[in-house]
Amino acid sequence: MIEKGLKIAIIGGGSSYTPEIIEGFINRYAELPVKELWLVDIEAGKDKLEIVGNLAKRMVKKAGVDCTINLTLDRRSALKDADFVTTQFRVGLLDARIRDEKIPLRYGCMGQETTGAGGFAKALRTIPVILDICRDMEELCPDAWLVNFTNPSGIITEAVLKHTKIKCVGLCNVPILMQKMVAEMMEAEETDIFVHFVGLNHLVWGRKVYCKGEDVTEKVVDLLVHDIQSGVKNIPENEWVAEQIKDLNMLPCPYHRYFYLTDEMLKEEIEAAKTVGTRGEVVKKVEEELFAIYANQDLDVKPKQLEERGGQYYSDAACTLIHAIYNDKRIVMPVNVRNNGAIADLPENVVVETSALITKHGVLPLNTGRVETKIRGLMQVVKAYEELTIEAAVTGDYGVALQALTMNPLVTSAGIAKKILDDILLENKEYLPQFQ
């Protein structure tokens, strides 16, 4: 018998994704009795919080569920005695993302919000904030689970697990989209598909793909290199090099295009920046349209237009994960979790993105052992870059930051890394006190 309802705090509650997480909690209410939902934001996001919060209230009212929606700028009141906390915030808002995309492009490097130098800048701004949130959690809700989908999700999750006592698991929508793509390819239900994911956030491979118990990895790879697209909104769908992917015989994630097709992707980014704008500039326009839709007092469901935002299914995955932990469902999901020896080629204390068993006792990654040389090298280099990025964000050490950026495969040299780093520090000065 359920004694009390759950209290969940959503940090970054004014996000355009919030209607999706509200819908997810409504759909699972019978088994996941969320009685208090606290949407938290900062002063700069107050107007968006009001708009999306009022839509959330209309959605809950229409669904007829017993759940109170609270809107607040006071994070501590939202965190007090929370059972779960989700994080979906962006330090510096979309203007910071646009800078992250434009700075590397000045120097002929990839400008993307979560990978390369752009993801590095985002991590430097975000890590001090997430650690501050965790200090509040340690005081106000020490037993709560933190479900992080603030990007770069793997790096942020690792920072939390290395530097706090909070139980934390990270999420990404990319493996979910990959699973959906495979189901479409195989003309099967999603429940018929199992993909064993191995790697890092935004650098994850479907190492084995099964449909109804049959290994269909080779078949899926063959379909992928011919005519099936990824369906990830924020990544151009450049064609893979068929021979390379077929020899790999694994399902690459859409973000592998940045590493496997760097020249083509960079050319496309430079052209887009000159014409339609960077992805951040495009998203800014999409968000303005979305919030105009959200403000309609007659709207009381998640609007279809949210799917154009990119990042869809993040929030639904968060609801599935919380549901699985709370009810000890023991399902397998792709998540960002402490390695603990699951991938033998990486340190035990780093975060990996892999298929894991979700229980109320913890999130347990499936054992992979050693991985193929074809993916090992890139994975190890990117992980070393991530480890140094976390150290730089925590310590504010310029030298460590420069080493991290120099190591990143999408940055061309130490000289270029120094120029990019200096611009990042200058243009993000108000968000990077650790470097002052």
Determine how many CB atoms are found less than 10 A away from the CB of residue 89.
22
- Phi and psi torsions of 279, nearest 5°: -60, -40
Listed in sequence order, the DSSP H helices in 186-313 are 217-226, 242-248, 256-260, 262-274, 279-294
Catalytic: which of 17, 29, 107, 255? 255
Crossing angle of helices 116-140 and 414-427, in 10° steps, is 50
- Whether residue 375 contacts residue 352, with contact meaning beta carbons closer than 8 Å, is answered with no
Q: CB-hemisphere CA count at 13 Å for 252?
A: 28
- Cβ-based burial of 393 (10 A; exposed 0-12, middle 13-18, buried ≥19): buried
Instruction: Taking the CA atoms of 8, 13, 18 and 22 in sequence, report the sign of the dihedral they define.
Output: positive
Coil vs helix vs strand at 375: helix
Name the burial class of residue 413, with classes exposed (0-12), middle (13-18) and buried (19+) by CB atoms within 10 angstroms of its CB: exposed
Identify whether the C-beta of residue 144 lies closer than 8 Å to the C-beta of residue 137.
yes
Cβ pair 40, 88 in contact under 8 A: no
The H or E element that residue 93 is part of is: helix 93-106
How far is it, in rounded angstroms, from Cα 38 to Cα 20?
A: 15
Q: What is the rounded distance in angstroms from the CA atom of residue 307 to the CA atom of residue 52?
A: 16
313 is a catalytic site residue: no
What is the spatial distance between Cα 62 and Cα 58, in angstroms, rounded to a whole number?
A: 6
Return left, alpha or beta for 96; rule: phi > 0 is left, psi -120 to 50 is alpha, else beta.
alpha
Residue with tokens 């809107």: 71
Measured from the Cβ of residue 339, the count of other Cβ atoms closer than 10 Å reads 20
In angstroms, the CA 186 to CA 308 distance is 25
CB 19, CB 53: distance < 8 Å: no
Active site residues: 255
